[in-house]
């Protein structure tokens, strides 16, 4: 529904979509639109995640939301412990529509999992507000590009698709030929490291205050998940 001040969009951003160039954030109007980000148990427990992954994703989500707010973007951010959290993405979309509406449409970038793609499709069928699911352009190849390559083939060997993409993009190519003179070095990569080889140290980033708070929350809420947070950085 249009308001006197123009259309409004509810823009959903998932935990693995924390990119400034996300299609869900294109043409965003900070004065009218609202970004929805939600920490929900459905996404933290559908499989038992390593504690490091939970900290990485939740901390990154919170800090990305902070960056958006610093740019003047309105963000509805739902934390795991917030009262009223439905603990599902579709539940949080519906709750935002009720609490923050009216909106003319919902905008999201297609998820990277079939599980969520199915949920998005079901949600779009039941909502009264139009649900615009945009393509994810953060990948080198689109669905259409892969489908065109795969059409008519009896077998699909991923390396041959990689080769085609390298030819098209020039990545790992030199003068039209594969860098190093061969398409892959799998045989060499399967060998053991030479004795005496000194491996470089791991690049480390000490956790900031926001991350330390997430670490404490993950330790409390997910004590049975595997991994230890002592080495997280």
Residue 32 lies inside a defined structural domain of this protein? yes
In the structure, what pLDDT confidence band is assigned to residue 116 with cuts at 50, 70 and 90? very high
Distance CA 30, CA 42 (A): 29
Q: Do residues 41 and 90 share a domain? A: yes
Render 58-107 in DSSP notation, one character per residue. Answer: HHHHHHHHHHHHHTT--EEEE-TT-TT--SSHHHHHHHHHHHH---SEEE
Look at residue 6 in the predicted model and tell me its pLDDT.
66
Please tell me whether residues 16 and 102 are part of one structural domain: yes
* Residue 129 neighbours by CB distance under 10 Å: 17
Residue numbers of the domain that contains 56: 9-134
| Same domain membership, residue 64 and residue 32 | yes
Residue 140 pLDDT > 70:
yes
> What are 175's two structure tokens?
């003068």
Say how far apart CA 201 and CA 210 lie, in whole Å. 25
The pLDDT tens digits of the residues spanning 71-90 come to 999 999 999 999 999 999 99
Above pLDDT 70, what percent of the chain? Answer: 97
How many CA atoms are closer than 13 Å to the CA of 52, on its beta-carbon side? 6
Q: Residues 114, 158: one domain?
A: no
* pTM of the complete model beyond 0.75: yes
52 with 154, same domain? no
Q: Which of 23-32, 50-59, 87-96, 201-210 has the lowest mean pLDDT?
A: 201-210
46 token code pair? 């559908």
Instruction: Please state the domain count of the chain.
Output: 2
The burial class, CB within 10 Å (0-12 / 13-18 / 19+), for 42 is middle
H/E stretch holding 108 reads strand 105-109
Work out the pLDDT band at 1, boundaries 50, 70, 90: very low
């Amino acid at each position: 529904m249009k308001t006197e001040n123009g259309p409004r969009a509810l823009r959903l951003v998932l935990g693995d979509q924390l990119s400034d160039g996300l299609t869900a954030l294109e043409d965003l109007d900070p004065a009218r639109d609202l970004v929805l980000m939600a920490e929900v148990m459905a996404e933290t427990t559908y499989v038992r995640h390593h504690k490091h992954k939970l900290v990485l994703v939740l901390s990154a989500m919170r800090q990305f939301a902070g960056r958006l707010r610093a740019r003047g973007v309105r963000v509805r951010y739902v934390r795991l412990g917030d009262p009223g959290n439905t603990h599902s993405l579709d539940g949080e979309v519906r709750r935002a529509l009720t609490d923050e509406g009216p909106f003319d449409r919902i905008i999201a970038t297609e998820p990277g999992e079939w599980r969520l793609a199915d949920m998005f499709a079901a949600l779009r069928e039941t909502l009264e507000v139009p649900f615009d699911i945009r393509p994810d352009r953060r990948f080198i190849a689109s669905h259409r590009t892969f489908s065109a390559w795969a059409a008519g083939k009896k077998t699909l060997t991923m390396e041959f698709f990689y080769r085609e993409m390298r030819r098209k993009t020039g990545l790992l190519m030199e003068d039209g030929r594969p860098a190093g003179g061969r398409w892959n070095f799998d045989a060499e990569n399967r060998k053991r490291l030479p004795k005496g080889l000194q491996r470089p140290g791991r690049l480390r980033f000490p956790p900031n205050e926001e991350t330390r708070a997430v670490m404490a929350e993950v330790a409390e809420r997910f004590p049975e998940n595997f991994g230890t947070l002592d080495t997280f950085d």
